[in-house]
Amino acid sequence: MAKSTARFVCQNCGAVAPRWQGRCDTCGEWNTIVEEQPEAPRAPGPAGKSAGGRRLEFVALKGRAAPPPRTVSGMAELDRVLGGGFVPGSVILVGGDPGIGKSTILLQAAARIANAGRRVLYISGEEAIDQVRLRALRLGLQDSPLGLAATTSLRDIAASLEEEKEATLVIIDSIQTVWLDSLDSAPGTVSQVRACAAELTRLAKTRNFAVVLVGHVTKEGTLAGPRVLEHMVDATLYFEGDRGHQFRILRAVKNRFGATDEIGVFEMTDRGLVEVANPSALFLAERRGNISGSAVFAGMEGTRPVLVEIQVLLSPSASGGSPRRQVVGWDSGRLAMLMAVLESRCRVSLGQNDVYLNIAGGLRVSEPAADLAVGGGLVSAATDRPTDPDMVFFGEIGLSGEVRQVSQTDTRLREAAKLGFAAAMLPRRVARGGRAATAHDGLRLSEIGHLADLVAPLAASAAKGAEKSPKKE
Ligand code: TYD
Ligand code: MG
C-alpha cells in the first residue's frame, strides 16, 4: 500500500514537488508549496485501439466560419480590449492586484449589459450582498436589473447555471474563493482553482454564456493560483496601475478572439471607473517643459498610440559603493544596456551617479522603441540641458549605438502632431536615402542613424551654457 497520496504543489507555478520544501525548485518562489490531495482518479483511458471512441470526421480548412457574435458592454475601452465585446461561450480571466478595481469595472460592465436587456449574473464570493449593493449605490447602478448572488460553493453555482437558459454573461468574483467540496484542498489552491475553472468552462460552452473569472495577482505580477488557468481560458486581461495614481490600464495578454497588447485606459474616480478616450493627453497633463532628464516617448500600445513622459534623474552616489539603478515602468536590463552604449559608443559619462528612471503616470512600457527617448532623458540629465520640450522621440538602439527602425512611424507622428508637438526625433528611414530633415503633418523631423546624433546637440548646448554662465550652486 502506498504511504501517502498527498502531493506538494507550488501555488505560484503549479509544479509538483515530492515533499514539502520552503522554496519551489521550478520558479524559485518562497513559501508557495502547499500539500494538496490528489484530484479524483480519472476514468481509465481506452484500453486497446479504439474502445468506445467515435470516428472523427475531418473537414477542409476552407468553409463557412462566421465571426463570433459579440455582446458589447458600451464601455468602449473594455470592448476594444476584448476584441469587440464578450463572445458567448468564452471564458475570460481578469487578473490584477487586490483593490485595483476589478470588481468595480466588472460591476459597471455587468450593469450596462443588464440595462440593455440581457440577463447578467454577478456571483460574489468575496463580498456579501450588502457590500455589492453599497458599491452599486455609489456607482449609481442600483436600478440595474442584474442578478446578484453571494456564495463560494461551486456546487451551488453549477446547479444554478445548469438551469440557465437566458444568461449572456456570468461573473465569478473571484475564482480563488470558490471551491468544490469533492476536493480536499483549500479554496484558492491550484487543484481547486483548476477544477472550478474547468467546471465553469464546461458550463460556459454548453450554456453558451460568457464567463468572467476574477483572479488576484501576487506582487510580482503573476496570477497566483489562477496563473495555471491562463492556458485554459480564451482571454486573459490584466488590470494594472498604481494605487497611488488615478489611472488604470486594462491589458489583454492573451485573446483568442482579438488582438493582444491592446490596452484600455480608465481613471478611478469617486463614481467608479471612467473611460479615458485620449490617454496621451492624460499622461502628459502634468509635464513641465524645460526640465533636464525629461523626454516624451511616442509609443504604441496595441493598435493605439500613447505619448508618455520619460523622466531620468542622476544624483551623485552617496554610498560610494556601486551606484543605484532604480526603474519604474521600464526594463532595468534595457536601461543598463543603454547606459553602457552611451558610455562606450558616445562617450557620455554617467559615472558614479545613481540613476532613477520613471515612466510618468504609472504606465509600463515594454517597447524597445522607447530606447531613444530614454537615451534622450539620460543625456539630458547627464548634461543638465533640457531636451526640446516640443519634441517626441522613438527608435530602438542597438549595441553599436545605431538607431533602428520601429513599426508604425506614421501613427506615432500623427499622434504627436495631434497633441501639438512640433518636432520628432526618429530612426533614419531607409527609403528616403538618408535625407536628414523632412516634414510630416507639420512636424519637423530629425531622422538620425546613430545615438551620437542625439548626444551631439545636447552636449554642445551644455558646453556653450557652461561657458556663459558658471553652474549655479
Ligand atoms: P475594487 O473594485 O473593490 O478592487 P478589486 O476588486 O480589484 O479588489 O476597488 C476597490 C478600490 O476602488 C477601493 O480602494 C476604493 C476604490 N473605489 C473608488 O475610488 N471609487 C469607486 O467608485 C469605487 C466603487 C471604488
Ligand atoms: Mg473585488
Per-residue pLDDT reduced to its tens digit, 74-131: 999 999 999 999 999 999 999 988 889 999 999 999 999 999 999 999 999 999 999 9
SS3 content of the chain, % helix, strand, coil (to 5): 25, 25, 45
| Ligand 1 center–CA 273 separation, angstroms | 9
Which pLDDT score is estimated for 7?
84
Ligand number nearest to the C-alpha of 135: 1
What residues are in contact with ligand 1 under a 6 Å CB criterion? Answer: 96, 98-104, 135, 138-139, 268, 270-272
Q: Which atom of ligand 1 is nearest to the CA of 243?
A: 14
The residues spanned by each domain of the chain are: 1-37, 76-277, 282-430+439-464
| Ligand 1 center–CA 426 separation, angstroms | 40
Q: pLDDT tens digits, residue range 330-357? A: 999 999 999 999 999 999 888 788 999 9
Phi and psi (nearest 5°) for 160? -70, -40
pTM: 0.77
Q: Hey, which of 268, 269, 271, 273 would you mutate to test ligand 1's pocket, going by the most ligand atoms within 8 Å of its Cβ? A: 268
Ligand number nearest to the C-alpha of 95: 1
Looking at domain 282-430+439-464, does it have CATH number 3.40.190.10?
no
Which pLDDT score is estimated for 297?
96
Ligand number nearest to the C-alpha of 173: 2
Q: Answer whether residue 43 shows pLDDT above 60.
A: no
CATH of the domain spanning 76-277, picked from 3.40.140.80, 3.30.479.10, 3.40.50.300, 2.60.130.10: 3.40.50.300
Which pLDDT score is estimated for 472?
40
- 229 Cβ partners below 8 Å, 6+ apart? 93, 175, 193, 194, 197, 213, 215, 223
Q: Hey, which of 97, 104, 214 would you mutate to test ligand 1's pocket, going by the most ligand atoms within 8 Å of its Cβ? A: 104
Beta bridge partners of residue 91, listed in sequence order: 211
Tell me the Cα Rg of the chain.
27
Which pLDDT score is estimated for 223?
56
Which pLDDT score is estimated for 122?
97
Which pLDDT score is estimated for 21?
87
Compute the distance between CA of residue 375 and CA of residue 393 in angstroms, rounded to an integer.
Answer: 9
